[in-house]
Amino acid sequence: MSEEIWDVVVIGGGGAGLAAAVAAAENGASVLLFESEGELGGSTQLSAGLFTAAGTSVQRGLGIEDSAEKFFQHYMDLNHWRLEPGLVRTFCEQAGPTLEWLIGLGVEIPATVSGNAHQPGLCQAGVEDVWRGHVPKDQGYGLVQVLDRARRTLGVEVVLRTRVESLVVHEGAVTGVVADGIEVGSRAVVVASGGFAQNAELVARHYPDALAGGDSLFVVAAPGSRGDHLAFGEQVDASLAGDGWGLMLPTVYFQRYHHWQSGFPPKSRIHVNGHGRRFMDEDASYAVSTGIIAAQPGGAWMVFDEQARTSLPEGYVDWNAARVADEADAGRTLRAQTLRELAGLMGVPADAFEANVARWNAQLPNGIDDDYLRHRTLANKGSTAAPGPIAHGPFYAARLLPAELVCTHAGLEIDHDARVLDATGRAVPGLFAAGEAGAGILGLRYVGGGNAVANALTMGRIAGHGATQTHLREGSVSASA
Ligand SMILES: Cc1cc2nc3c(=O)[nH]c(=O)nc-3n(C[C@H](O)[C@H](O)[C@H](O)COP(=O)(O)OP(=O)(O)OC[C@H]3O[C@@H](n4cnc5c(N)ncnc54)[C@H](O)[C@@H]3O)c2cc1C
């Protein structure tokens, strides 16, 4: 047992942990943060840093009126009201102030329209009518750098390459952690150890839908996403929330990397189902696209032509002309000289397939997609040139499926002060959680790019504040009990 008793020990140095550490230190607390890896950042550092928030100075700078109330309504509706409204309400109210706090610390988000998650400014995050996707300069890396600078200034101590093994629990209250076999005492502990995407056993148990990706499943979450929060939770009989939910992105079967490395499929493409019919806006946000694809009879295919293949830019690992040709040569991507022949290979009705390609050719290549309104999505992404028709053989079809595992939502149930609740709904004295480890806000539907980073930083900041308040640390019956 070390002699010193810290005010707050934080487990994990990603977005949630850094936000908690900085917020606690701003309140004058002594803070020690353990990070299992060789550097800070976790999945937050790998992310685009896209952050959903309402009523921000960035929105106002663009003349956009928005409010936490509207954000809340959209969030709850999209999640079918299967989340606790009080908790989500707190998140929606605090995401904006947390973004302003980050800007105050040095994060730069220009008040300009952004077409995607990589261009600093404000973009459409998901399917919201009022845009809420805030893209910071230097992305997730930039967020981590700013928070790391703040924690240094405030004197937060960091111990790298040290994986916290367990909590210290005394008469039902959390009084510290064990790391490297040594007990470290603290008045409060914040669990911010991320999700469990890198732990296949936990994925099978708590997010089995991810296994629908089969052999194509690949995980982009940071290596530290091992699900340690679930073991910590077992020590205090914590309640679990978000079980069975997470974020899978739709990809074709041969992708193995996040799109930054993988690249992007051709703009001139359609998605068709087992009936040979086009069924969606191919550029729809993953707030809804994953669910749409999963619901298709007979699975889903991405279809494009030779012109689209040869127009793919070089420099990406998966989406380049040579890679697609290799996949077709190997017989894994289907290739045929005619649409009718391709329909045969796909096992879909040829008449329907030909008619659907013809209908698409008559629409979007001429500027308007009456059926799925894809022209609107493309315009929101800043793309003005219409895609070419699917008209030049050979034609290609690649299996489309949700195979990219980004983050997981099952974690320790928290209340609106980010206190961990036990199975009876009571707050566990001394224990807070945030980010993917603290559950209840990330729901069955991801509300769009920025949902998880906003959750991590907003609830991390709330946890850091709560951990310095004696009455919250001591625990009491939660409002939700
Ligand atoms: C490629 C990619 C892109 C993404 N893009 C976006 C985006 O633009 N917007 C968005 O909202 N979401 C995005 N996400 C999801 C989002 O980044 C994460 O859900 C969020 O950042 C998680 O934050 P966190 O603090 O909970 O976890 P993390 O940032 O993963 O931090 C957890 C930290 O805890 C450490 N740790 C784990 N166990 C222990 C232990 N026992 N002891 C000590 N340390 C431990 C880990 O090593 C890690 O550093 C993306 C994710 C990925 C992988």
**DSSP string over 446-458:** --STTHHHHHHHH
The residue whose CA is least distant from atom 19 of ligand 1 is 452
Percent of the residues in the chain that have a pLDDT greater than 70, as a whole number: 98
Instruction: Measure 287 CA to ligand 1 centroid, in angstroms.
Output: 19
Distance 477 CA to ligand 1 centre (A): 30
Pocket test for ligand 1, best of 11, 32, 36, 44 (most atoms within 8 A of CB): 44
Cα–Cα distances (Å) from 47 to 51, 141, 259, in that order, read 10, 7, 11
Residue nearest ligand 1's atom 37 by CA? 193
CA distances from 129 to 98, 99, 124, 253, 373 (A): 22, 20, 8, 32, 14
Nearest CA among 440, 401, 406, 407 for reference residue 421: 440
For the whole model, what pTM was predicted? 0.96
Please provide the DSSP assignment of 98-155 as one string. HHHHHHHHT----SSB-SSTTSSEEE--SS-SS--EEE-TTHHHHHHHHHHHHHHHTT
**What is the whole-number distance in angstroms between the Cα of residue 334 and the centre of ligand 1?**
36
- Walk me through the domains of the chain, giving residue ranges and CATH numbers: 5-245+409-469 (3.50.50.60), 249-404 (3.90.700.10)
Look at residue 478 in the predicted model and tell me its pLDDT. Answer: 46
Q: Which residues of the chain have pLDDT under 50?
A: 477-481
Closest-CA residue, ligand 1 atom 35, reads: 12
Do 140 and 46 meet the contact criterion of CB atoms below 8 Å apart?
yes
Give the pLDDT score at 481.
Answer: 35
418 Cβ neighbours under 8 A, 6+ residues apart = 190, 432, 433, 434, 438, 459, 460, 462, 463, 466
pLDDT of residue 1: 59
pLDDT of 476: 57
- pLDDT value for 4: 85
Q: How far is the CA of 382 from the centre of ligand 1 (A)?
A: 29
Residues in the chain, overall count: 481
